[in-house]
Structure 1
Amino acid sequence: MANIQSQIKRNRQNEKRRLRNRNNRGSTRTAVSQARANVAKAAPESKEAVMAAISQLDRSAGKGIIHANKAARLKSRLMKRLSGMEKKGEEPSAEAKPVKKTRTKKSAEK
């Protein structure tokens, strides 16, 4: 137990911060696991779940709760799974772009 008043206060602050960080880390893990589950079953709301998880990862990395490289790695893996799901055609794309016809230039005849 600390004898110095400033150390007692520091311990109190550290405990509060530890609990806050623990809560944030848990909600981040939950968001990532829900996104993975949605992508695995090709749910229609999987894109929204991935975007929510990415947002949560960015917030946690910004606050120093998880390392920035870990956040980047998890975001990359989530996006890789999501794009793989979309390429398989399991989720229709939002809009199909029309094919634009290209013209060839006629050579100038002299």
Structure 2
Amino acid sequence: MANIKSAIKRVEVNNKKRTQNQSAKSDMRSQIKQVEKFVEANDVENAKAALRETTQKIDKAVQKGLIHKNNGNRQKARLTKQVNGLGA
């Protein structure tokens, strides 16, 4: 453990931020799985609604730097393609 007061504070802040980031990232992943579940069940209406929420979560994660921009765009494109495939 750190001895210097500022280092102790930095460790606490890092731990707090890490838990917040883990929570946001986990929430995003859960939302992605929700869309995939609706696609699997051929539920078009719920899939489209869930896709809108998921897109927002992914954008927020990119904005916070939790995931890379290209990763976010890839996830959104993949999910959108799956949901659009249901309507056809």
Q: Which range, TM-score by smaller chain? A: over 0.9
**TM-score, normalised by the number of residues in structure 2:** 0.94
Gaps spanning 5+ residues in structure 2: where?
A: none
Higher normalized helix content (fraction of residues): 2
**Equivalent residue, structure 1, for 2:6:** 6
Aligned alpha-carbon RMSD (Å): 0.8
Q: What amino acid is aligned across from residue 3 of structure 2 in structure 1?
A: N
Q: What amino acid is aligned across from residue 15 of structure 1 in structure 2?
A: N
Higher relative contact order (Cα pairs below 8 Å, separated by 6+ residues): 2
Q: What amino acid is aligned across from residue 65 of structure 2 in structure 1?
A: G
How many percent of aligned residue pairs carry the same amino acid?
A: 33
**TM-score, normalised by the number of residues in structure 1:** 0.76
Answer with 15-24 or 33-42: which moved more: 33-42
Q: How does 1:1-110 map to 2 (within 5 A)?
A: 1-43=1-43, 44-87=45-88
1:74-108 CA-to-partner distances (Å, cap 9, x unmatched) read 00000110111111xxxxxxxxxxxxxxxxxxxxx
Distance 2:42 2:50 in 1: 11
Gaps spanning 5+ residues in structure 1: where?
A: 88-110
Which runs of at least 4 in structure 1 moved beyond 3 Å after TM superposition?
Answer: none
Q: How many residues align?
A: 87
1:56-77 CA-to-partner distances (Å, cap 9, x unmatched) read 0001110111111111110000
